[in-house]
Amino acid sequence: MRAGEGVKEYKCTVWSAGAGCHGSCGQKLYVKDGKLIRIEGDENNPWNQGRSCSRALALKQYMYHPDRITTPLKRDGARGEGKFVPISWDEAFDTIERKMKGIREEFGAESILFCQGTGRDVGGPISFLAYSYGSPNWVQLGLSGQSCYTPRLGAMKATFGDFMVADCSQFLEKRYDDPEFEYPEVILVWGQNPPPTCPDGFFGHWIVDCMKKGTQVICVDPRHTWMTTRAKHHLQLRPGTDGALALGMLNVIINEGIYDKEFVAKWCLGFEELKERVQEYSPEKVAGITGVPADTIVSASRTYAKAKNAGGHWGLAVDTAPEGTTVAQAITHLWAITGNIDIPGGSVIARPSHGVTTYPYTTEELVELYGQELVTKLNDKRIGANEYKMVRGFRGWAQPDRAIEACKTGVPYPIKGAWIQTCNPLGGQATRTKYHYEALKGLDFIVAVDLFHNPTTMALADIVLPAATFAEKETFRSWWVPLGVTQKAVQVGECKSDWEINFELAGRLNPEIRQRWGSVRELIDSRLQRAGLTFDKLVEQGSWAMPPDGPFKPYRRHERGLLRHDGVPGFNTPSGKIELYSSVYKGFDIDPLPFYREPVNGPVAKPELAQQYPLTMISGTRNPLFFHSEHRSIPWLREKCPEPLVDIHPDTAKELGIFDGEWVFIENQMGKVKRKASLSKTVKPNMINTEHGWWKPELEGAEPTLFGVWDYQINQLVPGPQDSQSGFGGGQYKVTQVKLTKMPEGGK
């Protein structure tokens, strides 16, 4: 479609809401008479090269849905009654300002939790609001152990001093045509099925692009997926045993001498200690732990280590393994000892484009944005920071398991309120869902910022503020590359962007904000100043920019002195080298070397539990039609997946008398939920696999139904709290013991 005849084209970088995910797709929005009429992928944007997902293509249905919240709402009646009345923005802001100031004056700013989920550009706005208010408790409430990317980030930061991603040419404007790029000979894909997975700073189809050019794939996954059927090696391990497998692969590579000896000698520290540690994990021993045959472990290790260049890609399953930070550490060591670091087609260092921070990932970024004095002050009261040294020393999160317990117990201090933004803990991420429901129900004041009612808004919110889709807002994005902006194309109702909402309240709660910036646009331009760009300049050049050569663009920056502040060749670690024996972990009172622990509630650790609940449930499988608990009301998307499914091996189904398409209960000691049976050999007979985030917008929203959340929310069955000595990782989403029973005929 082209602009003209009353149609205006807007190019933007997508960061939710609507598409939902953390992707950086370039999209073209076509607007006529103030209304979106079409959306297309931007073929000139190097990130997605014109591609769009099903969620982006359904944006019109999402934006103009009759159930969308388009004006501020105030609860009218008891919590859970589902009664809300429209109010003005002035009344909403005045009420929130009065309530939040009152709580701060009586109990301290730490008594309000600032709760985020994922998606939207929320990390920047919500941390901005929390810190402006003075609360240290910015938290992904319900996400046990912060078991989504943070454990991997922590392991990479400790090992390399930076973050890493598989190189699929995404840092180069010409992409695959750039002469600097070389296709990976191998990509090791660990715990993810990239094509249908929502992008997290990485577009899954990049791996497919590489495969078309000859890249071989090694897959680590307990399931059969599209990608495992095309892999050279599929290591179909027992859920939760990823750490043992990584150590077994290190054992093979080190003992056979097929690691990169020159790279290890020059750039790595602690190799001898690692070599000694991995002797405990022979292929035969690891085969007994993981269920992967020893010869498969050996052959896959050789394929990976002997490749000219090999990338590493991974998923959330790494984070949810017991000691997720340690499992991630072991996998990073595979990348390191084979020398696949910051080379074309390897694993490359990923820094925010142009050095612009959108979403502060590390303590260093928080200090840069807000100053050491404030960060130190907030750390002293941040929930979990005094219990877990890694929580204190890496990233700005409060520890989510401890935060919800504080709501119940008042320890270490009373929690009186919650700001819930891009977050549906009851319908999405919360383990021990009823525990979270009961704990949050007792808070004095709760604000939710969202686009649709969901179980959390219905059950808990006192005020609901209507957020904007990406087509309705100005924002900026710098998650690796490119540096991008989203320009506002339309206005729907009275909806505001997360930045607009949080900027207004931050200014009311902290007058210094208004002294520094007069508007959201000024704030964005101040962040972009480091890149020598402005919002308008980025819009003029297509809404994106790739970084110039230097510290924010591969390759071999460690050799060129581009990673350290002192300009000396090496890595941004305390030693200047890749730390296989981690001084950072040692400082956090964590074993400096990787090790393996059994899943705490798995069939080996608790055989008596497995006797009663013999099936291991893998939850959280991604569906390209939905993003976590979003999109269940969008007609095009729901039509393709109307009901929540559970994958059951045909042999298991036969044994239990379950037929394809029947409704079943998934049960364990914590309760039971409903699923529709899908007979599939994608899982082994002793496993089942199901999606998370299910609730039904077509059902009654008021209590006790809450859109059916108590019938369909799988995380009710996931135990807690997390199982990790670091405080990060170990959420038991992938290793939960359950049983299946048939529902009465006609039930669903």
Q: 34-88, pLDDT tens digit by residue? A: 999 999 999 999 999 999 999 999 999 999 999 999 999 999 999 999 999 999 9
Q: What is the DSSP letter of 745?
A: T
d(CA 440, CA 446) in angstroms, rounded, equals 9
The tokens for 735 are: 């290793």
Residues forming beta bridges with residue 190, ordered by sequence position: 220, 314
Name the strand (E) or helix (H) holding 406.
Answer: helix 400-409
Report the alpha-carbon angle 163-164-169, nearest 5. 135
Q: Which are the contacts of 489, defined by CB distance < 8 A and separation ≥ 6?
A: 8, 10, 12, 29, 31, 36, 471, 472
Q: How far is CA 177 from CA 174, 182, 209, in A?
A: 5, 10, 12
How are strands ordered across the β-sheet holding 417-421?
84-86, 73-75, 463-466, 445-450, 417-421, 112-116, 138-139
Judge contact between 494 and 15, C-beta under 8 A. no
**Three-class SS state of 446:** strand
Q: What is the DSSP letter of 298?
A: H
SS (H, E, C) 31-70: EECCEEEEEEECCCCCCCCCCCCHHHHCHHHHHCCCCCCC
704: preceding bond cis by omega (within 30 degrees): yes
DSSP string, 307-368: SSSEEEEE-THHHHSTTHHHHHHHHHHHHHHTT-BSSTTSEEEE--GGG--SS--SHHHHHH
| Helical packing angle, 400-409 and 433-441, nearest 10° | 50
* Dihedral sign for Cα atoms in the order 230, 232, 238, 240: negative
Judge contact between 667 and 741, C-beta under 8 A. yes
Judge contact between 424 and 39, C-beta under 8 A. no
Structurally, what CATH architecture does the domain formed by 73-139+359-477+483-545 represent? 3-Layer(aba) Sandwich (3.40)
SS (H, E, C) 539-575: HHCCCEECCCCECCECCCCCCCCCCCCCCCCCCCCCC
Burial label for 209, CB within 10 Å (0-12, 13-18, 19+), is middle
Hey, how many other C-beta atoms are within 10 angstroms of the C-beta on 82? Answer: 20
Hey, how many other C-beta atoms are within 10 angstroms of the C-beta on 539? Answer: 17
Q: Which are the contacts of 426, defined by CB distance < 8 A and separation ≥ 6?
A: 433, 436, 437, 454, 455, 456, 459, 460, 706, 709, 713
The string over 141-175, giving b where at least 16 C-beta atoms fall within 10 Å of a residue's C-beta and e elsewhere, is: bbbbbbbbbbbbbbbbbbbbbbbbbbbbbbbbeeb
Please name the amino acid found at residue 490: V
User: Which of 726, 23, 123, 587 is CA-nearest to residue 366?
Assistant: 123
d(CA 270, CA 147) in angstroms, rounded, equals 27
Q: How far is CA 22 from CA 120, 221, 253, 480, 524, in A?
A: 7, 23, 35, 11, 19
- The pLDDT value recorded for residue 746 is 62
d(CA 669, CA 402) in angstroms, rounded, equals 22
Report the alpha-carbon angle 520-93-458, nearest 5. 110
Radius of gyration of the chain (CA): 25
**Alpha helices by DSSP H, 118-174:** 123-133, 150-160
Low-confidence ranges of the chain (pLDDT < 70): 746
The tokens for 726 are: 């670091």
User: Which of 28, 119, 36 is CA-nearest to residue 631?
Assistant: 119
The tokens for 264 are: 């290890």
Please name the amino acid found at residue 510: N
Q: What is the CATH number of domain 150-352+567-587?
A: 3.40.228.10
Residues of the chain with CATH 2.40.40.20: 607-742
User: Which of 175, 214, 217, 176 is CA-nearest to residue 194?
Assistant: 217
Please name the amino acid found at residue 719: P
Judge contact between 731 and 720, C-beta under 8 A. yes
Residues of the chain with CATH 3.40.50.740: 73-139+359-477+483-545
Burial label for 136, CB within 10 Å (0-12, 13-18, 19+), is buried
d(CA 105, CA 108) in angstroms, rounded, equals 6
- The pLDDT value recorded for residue 647 is 98
Q: Which are the contacts of 208, defined by CB distance < 8 A and separation ≥ 6?
A: 194, 195
Residue carrying structure tokens 């179909």: 236
**Three-class SS state of 733:** coil
SS (H, E, C) 477-529: ECCCCCEEEECCCCCCCCCECHHHHHHHHHHHHCCHHHHHCCCHHHHHHHHHH
Residues forming beta bridges with residue 29, ordered by sequence position: 10, 39
Residues of the chain with CATH 3.40.228.10: 150-352+567-587
Judge contact between 96 and 74, C-beta under 8 A. no
Q: What is the CATH number of domain 607-742?
A: 2.40.40.20
Q: Which are the contacts of 282, defined by CB distance < 8 A and separation ≥ 6?
A: 248, 251
For strands 544-545 and 645-648, give the pairing: unpaired
- The pLDDT value recorded for residue 369 is 76
* Dihedral sign for Cα atoms in the order 595, 188, 148, 484: positive
